[in-house]
Amino acid sequence: VQWGRTDMFWWLLLTCLLQQASRVCASNGMDIAGAEGKSVTFQLQNLMGEILTWSFRGETILVIELGAPPKLLFSDESYTSRVAFNNDSDLTILQLRRSDAGTYLAKTNKFKVVFTLHVYRELPEPTVSCTGWNCSAEGCHYALHCSVDPPENSSFFWSYNEQPEGEGSELVVVEEKQHPGDPDPLPYTCTAQNPVSTRSTTVFPSALC
């Protein structure tokens, strides 16, 4: 059989399409942070296939028939009352628990994506304490410590007059001696932050120490 250029083109195109059809489109996934007691949504894009399976730590927890609306075919009992679907395929988990943290896999016959969920408690208002002070004729030095309980992967930032003063839980404040006509010192603010919340406390070092 003699192949012409047109025949060769269509044969190569068909071969390419068959190769693509045999592959599963995979995504490396992403990290997601959620707050304990709140909700989190796993968003899917370019979804293909009719049956969507969600698994958690290797165990199937949900099987969904995609459509408008999607139809739940199977659900692990611990998720039945805590899941909702948006845009047909996006999965929302309600009333997050610490035990929900881990790796989730969403998969159809042509698509799969991995999500890693981290669940944190929202931070309480931080506490600022005075760990030391020293005053002289020139002014005062104050050592401040900022903390939250429990820490929950928190980071600390200090500011004065809305300008950054430093990072970390410790701060040394130097206040020069006040003279008549000098403006009153402004307070310092400690901000505690973790992936799901931000809380602040404002103090006057001289009053605290």
Q: Average pLDDT for residues 105-127, to the nearest whole number?
A: 91
Distance CA 62, CA 56 (A): 9
Q: Output the CA torsion sign for 82, 114, 56, 111.
A: positive
pTM over 0.85: no
- The pLDDT tens digits for 166-192 are 999 999 999 888 777 777 889 999 999
Domain ranges of the chain: 24-120, 127-204
**Structure tokens given for 86:** 């948006």
Distances (CA, A) of 145 to 118, 155, 190, 200, 201: 28, 13, 9, 13, 12
Homologous superfamily (CATH) of 24-120 is: Immunoglobulins (2.60.40.10)
Task: Judge if 24-120 and 127-204 fold alike in CATH terms.
Answer: yes
Percent share of the chain, pLDDT over 70: 83
Query: Can you name the CATH fold of 127-204?
Result: Immunoglobulin-like (2.60.40)
